[in-house]
Structure formats: structure tokens, C-alpha cells
């Protein structure tokens, strides 16, 4: 679309907080219906101060170019930001698929515009600034997306749920319910959320509802896709930060880190390095051992990305991530004990160590987009718990090693009439679990369990304009799964001589179709309807005995509408209603000895309503609101039904709401400030299935606030969470083996205030 008609329009107005140039570009492109962008992703990531402008599009773009120290180039049908020292001639870009929709959903695998995607999408950018300098992690996402919930076993030990698709509170050998990806690389298979720190991240996309067609098993509830900032090939720069945090009723923590971008060979080879370290203060006291603040958590990690431009339109990226979480003790308290206090004989630590490596090839082949991603993930995680019995205290220990090898190659194309993608993938996973139990601090190993899985897949999806403003999308995925389970009983005194491994295999096939319709109204509004499936293969579960469990599948119909884009348009609203049938629900359970196994617990029915609203009420003010209501019903298996009422799925939060208010402005040319307030309510849920585990949890409200002031090139930040110092029960268990001997709760982290400073260089 040519920029001409909007150039003389003096009514355009820009009102934005400090952030990346991309935010301002997206807003102006939407307001003026113009094609504005850059062929260099690094330019769009350049931070700019708060903007309060009015006038013509040309004058606004000129000011943005000055603020970002770039140069603006006018093309016949577009505006392009380029480096200030770039050549004066810039080749005209290829026509954008939808010029007035600059935000692209990368999780669609065909670069679909956000405005047109027939699915509920949450697109988050600038997570560091949104949380005012506090360490961005899964907790940041939970605070901004009400439909995303989690258990509370401890950092790196939790299980994620989306839109009420929840099977149990234990993270066991079954595939995850929420897919987690860094770019196109799968991060987890049968492992808990690694709780990656989201530093130096360009965006996070959360797709709600089953994504089986494009992502296969492990995405029944949806997926979380993290897009790191890529290396820049022509500029040396970076930033560093440090902070100190104090927790009420607890200790003092701190964090620090840095990111640096190095153009190794200008315009040819670039390296981006990230490193960080943090200590979360403890706040739980142990009366038996006479210790205070026992549950401190230490996290360190980093990321390295190397990008090579090997030819015109072709790049090769190689990178890796490492992160280690050391939880020095469990974060639970005893019911009836003094505030934030429990009694235990020994420390109950846990850890999560993740190491990834990937290679991504991206280029154009005869007008098609080719993307090939190969990756490796090693994830070590473990935990130690007290196992309380009437007679004595046993100590349970679980040590896990998980390996994941993945490869995916896809071809895609976007055009004015729609787009398509086809691809093939291979995923191989191994999970080893060593289980110990005993009365000593170092329990004796009693069981070794190994689960293997292989998934070979071909998939495709096509979107096409049917007529007028009506578009249709259809897709399908065909997968072949090979699974095996092996268990060795190590409890016998002469197990080396007499123990025989229990071993079995199975093969399954699955076809996962999807279909959607969308209609684009005037004013940027879209109405859509979608059908999608999710699937997890059946197989053999290796506990005390090898047992077969059935595949489970979810079938979801959803209807939604969307108008505008949050944080881009002055007014943006979306709403979705969905209903799901979940057959042969798989659940990770523990038997009487603490050995993990998978069982089918029945058929489920889920109904979910959710809505979001963002509004720029006046210059420098923004209001946001989001919420959902969910209902679940379980028709249990006969074995489960005889135990009593088991009609509700665990961890399905009944309702959740978030309200936010942001205010920003400027003291002077280089003196920006920002204030924010967020209120979040998490409704009630139950811990487990059946009367023995249907313990209530949740139903609490928290208040958070933060602020930042920029003294270029530095930012001073303050962040406060749980300002009301609410100690409500977030999770109705502390150890999975306590049974009914005594009740435990996992309280919310008390009020924590962090002061930090960040400097760009």
C-alpha cells in the first residue's frame, strides 16, 4: 500500500511508552495503513524513549529515525528504516502479505499476520521492561496470561497448563500438556517446565488450544514459543544490569547479568552472548532443624548465538543455552504451624539443569521459504522429599536424565491470497529415572525406569481466501510413534544377579486434522471459528509392573473475535469461547512406594470463556483487563469411581482475572519515566483426582507495582510483587508422599521489593 495518502494527514497521534522501535513502527503502520518496516531485525530492536507526537506520518517517521539513530528510506510502496551508514540505494522489499498487519505470528510456521490468525494468540514483547527489571521467567508469563497456570513444587519442577487442560499435579514420564519451544526447537518432552530466564528475548507467543497439526504430541493445551533476539551483523553493543531484592519474613536476594552483541565479520558473521546469575531469597522456616529461610534458590545460565550470512537471502544460526537451578529446600509449610513454618528432619532440595544446542538454516528456494532446525536437549532434574508414615520417616529421592534429539524441515509461502506450509520432523526422546528410598539422608536406589519414544511426522497447512473477506485454513499431521518402557527392580539384596529387566514396546499412528474459517470486518476486526486436535500416544508405563495405557486425544471447537492488537492499537479487544472433549485422559501418578506411572483416569469435558481488553484512555495512560471462566467434568474409570467422587479434573482454575494500569511520560529529552500497577486474581482449583486428593487450593488476589526512570544511558528500576503480603495457599501439597498424615500448603512468596539499575552500551 503506498504511503502517499497518509503523509498529509495531520490528525495522526502517537502515544507510546519507552520500548523498542518495533512497537512504534507497528503502531504507525496500523494507524496509517502503511507498509513500514526494516529488512534488519536489529534495527527494530533499538530502544527509543517515550513518544508523544502528532502530525503527519512523514514527520513522525523522521522523528523516529532521529531517536533511533537510523535513516529513513522512502520506496514506491513502503518506508524502510536502515542503518545511518548504509548505502543510499535500498532495494525495494518484496510485497508484504498483508501490509496493514505488521505483527507476524512465527508459531504459525508460515509467517501469518496476527490480525488474521484464526486462533487465540498472546504476543508479548519487551518482557524485561514490562516487569520493571525483575527477572523475567515463567512467573512473568503467569502474571500476564491468566489462562496459563502452573503447579508450585519449586523453580524448575513445575507443570504448565493452558486453558484448563490439566491431568495431574505430578510431572512424570508422559508428554507435557503445553509445548515449549525456543524458536523452532522443542525444549521439553517428558520433563517439567525448565523455567528459563527470558532475558534478551524479542517476543513470546502463547497459542491457546490444541496445536496438534503443526506441533504434534505435547501441545494439547497449547504452546509457548520463545523468540530470542538474533545477533546483529553490523553493530557492537550490549547492556548490563544488577539488582537487589528483599523478601518480607525472609532473606535478601540479588541478580545480575549482561548481554553483548559482537559483529565478528561485519555484515557476514555476528555473535550474541548472554550471561546471568540470581539468588531468590528464602522465606520458609524449619522448626525441627532450627533453620530460617531454608528455601533459597540459586539460578545461573547463559545463551550464545552465532549467525552467518552465507549468501543473499540465506543465514545459518548456531546456538546453545545452559541454565542451572538449585532449590536448596522445598517451599511448603505445615497447616497449623506458625506462619511460613514447617517441621522436617532433612533438607528437601531439588534442581533442574538444562543444556541445549541447535543449528538453523533459513533461506529462499525458488520463491519459497525453507527453514531447517536441528537440536539437542539434555535436561537433568531431581528432587528429594520426606515420606511420612506412621512408623518412621523415609526419604524419597528421584533423579532424572532426559535427552531429546529433534529435526524439522519446512517449506512455506505467503502471498496476498494466503499462505501454506509443509514439513517433516523427527523427534527422539529418552527419559531415565533413578528412584531411591530409605531412612538415611542418602536413600538406597530401589528402581530404575527408562522410557523411550520416537516420532516421525509429515504435516501441512494451507490458508486461502475463499471469497471477499472470508478465508479458510485446513491442515493435517500424520505421525508414527514408537515407544518402549523398561524397569529394573533394585530392591533385592542380590539384584545384580537375579533382577531381570521388565521391557515392552508399542507402535502407534495418528492423524491430526484441523480446520478454521475467519472473516475480516472493517476496522481491523476478525471473527473466526476453529476445530483442532491434540494427541499423546499410548504405550507401556514402567512402575512396579509394566502396564499398558491408552492414547489420549482432545477435540476442541472454538469461536472467537479480535479487534486491534494489544499495545499497538488505541483500542484492542478479543474474546474466545471453546469446548473440548478429552478422551482417555492420561495422568502422571505415584504408587504407594512413590514410583511414577501413567494411567488413564477417564474422559473429560472442558468449557472455557476468555476475553482481553487494552485501551489507551489518554496520553500517557494505558488500561488492560483480561480474564477467563473455566469448567471441567471428568467421567472417571470404574477403578477410580469406586473410591468416591472424582468428577473434576485437578488444577483446572475456575476463573482468573488480571487488571493493569500503566502511566508514562518524560521529564526531559533523555529523562523518561514509567509507572505500572497490576492486580491479579487466581480462582480455586483442586490438587488431585478423587476424594483423597481433592484438596482445595488457590482463590487468592495479589497486587504488584513497579516503576522505572531513564537517565540515558541508564535505567533505574523498582519492582514490588505481592504488595499486600498475602500468604494464601497457592498449592495444596509440599511433598507428593505425605498422604493424609498431615496437611501441607505452599504459600505465596511474601512481599518482595527489588531495586535495580540497567545500563546500555
Strand arrangement, sheet containing 729-731 = 333-334, 744-747, 729-731
Angstrom distance (rounded) from CA 231 to CA 264: 10
Angstrom distance (rounded) from CA 18 to CA 675: 11
> Does the pLDDT of residue 88 top 70, yes or no?
no
pLDDT tens track for 226-278: 999 999 998 899 999 999 999 999 999 999 999 999 999 999 999 999 999 99
> Does the pLDDT of residue 451 top 70, yes or no?
yes
pLDDT confidence of residue 89: 43
CATH topology assigned to domain 222-305+319-760: Maltoporin; Chain A (2.40.170)
What is the distance between the terminal CA atoms of the chain, rounded to a whole angstrom?
37
Determine which of 100-104, 151-155, 308-312, 693-697 has the lowest per-residue pLDDT on average: 100-104
Angstrom distance (rounded) from CA 448 to CA 435: 6
pLDDT confidence of residue 393: 64
CATH number for the domain formed by residue range(s) 4-97:
3.55.50.30
Domains 113-215 and 222-305+319-760 share a fold: no
- Confidence category of residue 7, pLDDT binned at 50, 70, 90: very low
Determine which of 82-91, 120-129, 216-225 has the lowest per-residue pLDDT on average: 82-91
Determine which of 419-423, 547-551, 601-605 has the lowest per-residue pLDDT on average: 547-551
**Omega of the bond prior to 713 within 30 degrees of 0, cis?**
yes
Are the CB atoms for 356 and 304 separated by under 8 Å? no
What is the rounded average pLDDT of the residues 129-152? 81
pLDDT confidence of residue 372: 98
pLDDT tens track for 277-319: 999 999 999 999 999 999 999 999 999 999 999 998 899 999 9
Angstrom distance (rounded) from CA 224 to CA 204: 7
Nearest to 284 by CA among 340, 343, 246: 340
- Confidence category of residue 544, pLDDT binned at 50, 70, 90: low
> Does the pLDDT of residue 15 top 80, yes or no?
no
Sign of the C-alpha dihedral computed for residues 49, 719, 571 and 202 taken in this order: positive
Break the chain into its structural domains and give their ranges: 4-97, 113-215, 222-305+319-760
pLDDT confidence of residue 265: 96
pLDDT confidence of residue 127: 56
Are the CB atoms for 1 and 34 separated by under 8 Å? yes
pLDDT confidence of residue 500: 55
Are the CB atoms for 370 and 385 separated by under 8 Å? no
Angstrom distance (rounded) from CA 209 to CA 223: 8
pLDDT confidence of residue 126: 64
pLDDT confidence of residue 150: 94
Between the ranges 107-111, 568-572, 699-703, where is the mean pLDDT highest? Answer: 699-703
| Torsion angle defined by CA atoms of residues 654, 648, 149 and 748, in that order, rounded to the nearest 10 degrees | 80
pLDDT tens track for 703-712: 999 999 988 8
Paired with 35 in beta bridges are: none
Nine-digit cell string for 336: 497449623
- pTM, whole model, 2 decimals? 0.86
Are the CB atoms for 483 and 508 separated by under 8 Å? yes
Residues contacting 583, CB < 8 A, separation 6+:
552, 553, 554, 555, 603
pLDDT tens track for 521-530: 877 899 999 9
What mean pLDDT, rounded, does the chain reach? 86
How many other C-beta atoms lie within 10 A of the C-beta of residue 36? 24
CATH topology assigned to domain 113-215: Ferric Hydroxamate Uptake Protein; Chain A, domain 1 (2.170.130)
Angle (nearest 5°) at CA 563 between 562 and 566:
95
pLDDT confidence of residue 493: 47
Angstrom distance (rounded) from CA 179 to CA 189: 8
- Confidence category of residue 741, pLDDT binned at 50, 70, 90: very low
pLDDT confidence of residue 44: 75
pLDDT confidence of residue 449: 84
Nearest to 432 by CA among 173, 159, 169, 157: 173
- Between residues 34 and 321, the one the model is more confident about: 321
pLDDT tens track for 311-363: 988 999 999 999 999 999 999 999 999 999 999 888 999 999 999 999 999 99
- HSE-CB for 417 with a 13 A CA cutoff: 5
Angle (nearest 5°) at CA 260 between 279 and 188:
60
Determine which of 276-290, 406-420, 520-534, 661-675 has the lowest per-residue pLDDT on average: 661-675
Nearest to 3 by CA among 46, 59, 47, 68: 59
pLDDT confidence of residue 172: 76
Angstrom distance (rounded) from CA 493 to CA 560: 61
> Does the pLDDT of residue 53 top 70, yes or no?
yes
Between the ranges 118-132, 323-337, 728-742, where is the mean pLDDT highest? Answer: 323-337
- Confidence category of residue 539, pLDDT binned at 50, 70, 90: confident
Q: Which string of DSSP letters, residue by residue, matches 297-339?
A: EEEEEEEEEEEEEEETTEEEEEEEEEEEEEE-S---EETTSST
Determine which of 50-59, 348-357, 625-634, 734-743 has the lowest per-residue pLDDT on average: 734-743
> Does the pLDDT of residue 678 top 80, yes or no?
yes
The 3-state DSSP composition of the chain as helix, strand, coil percent (nearest 5) reads 10, 60, 35
> Does the pLDDT of residue 441 top 80, yes or no?
no
- Confidence category of residue 543, pLDDT binned at 50, 70, 90: low
| H or E element that contains 143 | helix 138-144
Amino acid at each position: 500500500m503506498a504511503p502517499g495518502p497518509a503523509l498529509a494527514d495531520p490528525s495522526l497521534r502517537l502515544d507510546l511508552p519507552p520500548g523498542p522501535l518495533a512497537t512504534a513502527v507497528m503502531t504507525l503502520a496500523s494507524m496509517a495503513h502503511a507498509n513500514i518496516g526494516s529488512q534488519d531485525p536489529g534495527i527494530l530492536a533499538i530502544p527509543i524513549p517515550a513518544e508523544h507526537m502528532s502530525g503527519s506520518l512523514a514527520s513522525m517517521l523522521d522523528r523516529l529515525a532521529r531517536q533511533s539513530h537510523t535513516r529513513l528510506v522512502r520506496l514506491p510502496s513502503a518506508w524502510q528504516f536502515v542503518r545511518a551508514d548504509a548505502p543510499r540505494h535500498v532495494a525495494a522489499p518484496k510485497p508484504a502479505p498483508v501490509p496493514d498487519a505488521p505483527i507476524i505470528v512465527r508459531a504459525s510456521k508460515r509467517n501469518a499476520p496476527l490480525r488474521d490468525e484464526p486462533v487465540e494468540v498472546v504476543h508479548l514483547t519487551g518482557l524485561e521492561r514490562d516487569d520493571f527489571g525483575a527477572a523475567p521467567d515463567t512467573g512473568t508469563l503467569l502474571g500476564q496470561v491468566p489462562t496459563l497456570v502452573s503447579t508450585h513444587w519449586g523453580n524448575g519442577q513445575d507443570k504448565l497448563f493452558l486453558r484448563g487442560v490439566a491431568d495431574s499435579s505430578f510431572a512424570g514420564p508422559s508428554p507435557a500438556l503445553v509445548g515449549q519451544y525456543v524458536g523452532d526447537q522443542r525444549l521439553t518432552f517428558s520433563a517439567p517446565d525448565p523455567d528459563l530466564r527470558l532475558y534478551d528475548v524479542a517476543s513470546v507467543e502463547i497459542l491457546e488450544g490444541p496445536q496438534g497439526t503443526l506441533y504434534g504430541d505435547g501441545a494439547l493445551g497449547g504452546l509457548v514459543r520463545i523468540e530470542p533476539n538474533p545477533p546483529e551483523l553490523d553493530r557492537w553493543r550490549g547492556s548490563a544490569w544488577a539488582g537487589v531484592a528483599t523478601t518480607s519474613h525472609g532473606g535478601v536476594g540479588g541478580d545480575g547479568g549482561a548481554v553483548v552483541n559482537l559483529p565478528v565479520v561485519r555484515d557476514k558473521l555476528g555473535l550474541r552472548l548472554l550471561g546471568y546469575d540470581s539468588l531468590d531469597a528464602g522465606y520458609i522456616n524449619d522448626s525441627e532443624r532450627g533453620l530460617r529461610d531454608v528455601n533459597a534458590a540459586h539460578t545461573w545460565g547463559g545463551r550464545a548465538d552465532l549467525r552467518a550470512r552465507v549468501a543473499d537471502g540465506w543465514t545459518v544460526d548456531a546456538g546453545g543455552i545452559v541454565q542451572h537451578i538449585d532449590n536448596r529446600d522445598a517451599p511448603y509449610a505445615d497447616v497449623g504451624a506458625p506462619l511460613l513454618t514447617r517441621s522436617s528432619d532433612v533438607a528437601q532440595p531439588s534442581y533442574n539443569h538444562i543444556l541445549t544446542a541447535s543449528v538453523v538454516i533459513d533461506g529462499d528456494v525458488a520463491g519459497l521459504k525453507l527453514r531447517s532446525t536441528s537440536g539437542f536437549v539434555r535436561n537433568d532434574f531431581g528432587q528429594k522429599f520426606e515420606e511420612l508414615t506412621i512408623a518412621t520417616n523415609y526419604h524419597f529421592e528421584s533423579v532424572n536424565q532426559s535427552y531429546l534429539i529433534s529435526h524439522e524441515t519446512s517449506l512455506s509461502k505467503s502471498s496476498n491470497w494466503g499462505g501454506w506450509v509443509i514439513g517433516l520432523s523427527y523427534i527422539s526422546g529418552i527419559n531415565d529415572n533413578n528412584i531411591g528410598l530409605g531412612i538415611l539422608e542418602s536413600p538406597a536406589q530401589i528402581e530404575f525406569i527408562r522410557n523411550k519414544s520416537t516420532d516421525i511426522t509429515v504435516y501441512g497447512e494451507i490458508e486461502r481466501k475463499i471469497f471477499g473477506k472470508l478465508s479458510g485454513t485446513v491442515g493435517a499431521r500424520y505421525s508414527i510413534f514408537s515407544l518402549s518402557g523398561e524397569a529394573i527392580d533394585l530392591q533385592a539384596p542380590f539384584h545384580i544377579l537375579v533382577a531381570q529387566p521388565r521391557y515392552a514396546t508399542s507402535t502407534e499412528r495418528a492423524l491430526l486434522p484441523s480446520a478454521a474459517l475467519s472473516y475480516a470486518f472493517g476496522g481491523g476486526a476478525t471473527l473466526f471459528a476453529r476445530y483442532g486436535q491434540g494427541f499423546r500416544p499410548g504405550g507401556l508405563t514402567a512402575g512396579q509392573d509394566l502396564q499398558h495405557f491408552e492414547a489420549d486425544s482432545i477435540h476442541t471447537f472454538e469461536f472467537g473475535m479480535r479487534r486491534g492488537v494489544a499495545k499497538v492499537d488505541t483500542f484492542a479487544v478479543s474474546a474466545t469461547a471453546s469446548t473440548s472433549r478429552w478422551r482417555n485422559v492420561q495422568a502422571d501418578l505415584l504408587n504407594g512406594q512413590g514410583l511414577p506411572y501413567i494411567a488413564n483416569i477417564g474422559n473429560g469435558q472442558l468449557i472455557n470463556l476468555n476475553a482481553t481488553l487494552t485501551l489507551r484512555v489518554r496520553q500517557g495512560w494505558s488500561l488492560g483487563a483480561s480474564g477467563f471462566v473455566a469448567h471441567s467434568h471428568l467421567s472417571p474409570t470404574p477403578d477410580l469411581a469406586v473410591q468416591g467422587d472424582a468428577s473434576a479434573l485437578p488444577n483446572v482454575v475456575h476463573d482468573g482475572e488480571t487488571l493493569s494500569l500503566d502511566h508514562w511520560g518524560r521529564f526531559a529529552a533523555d529523562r523518561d519515566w514509567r509507572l505500572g500497577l497490576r492486580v491479579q486474581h487466581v480462582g480455586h482449583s483442586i490438587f488431585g483426582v478423587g476424594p483423597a486428593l481433592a484438596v482445595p487450593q488457590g482463590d487468592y488476589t495479589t497486587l504488584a507495582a513497579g516503576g522505572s526512570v531513564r537517565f540515558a544511558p541508564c535505567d533505574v528500576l523498582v519492582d514490588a510483587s505481592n504488595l499486600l503480603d498475602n500468604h494464601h495457599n497457592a498449592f495444596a501439597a509440599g511433598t507428593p508422599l505425605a498422604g493424609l498424615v498431615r496437611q501441607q500448603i505452599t504459600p505465596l512468596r511474601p512481599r518482595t521489593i527489588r531495586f535495580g539499575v540497567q545500563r546500555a552500551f
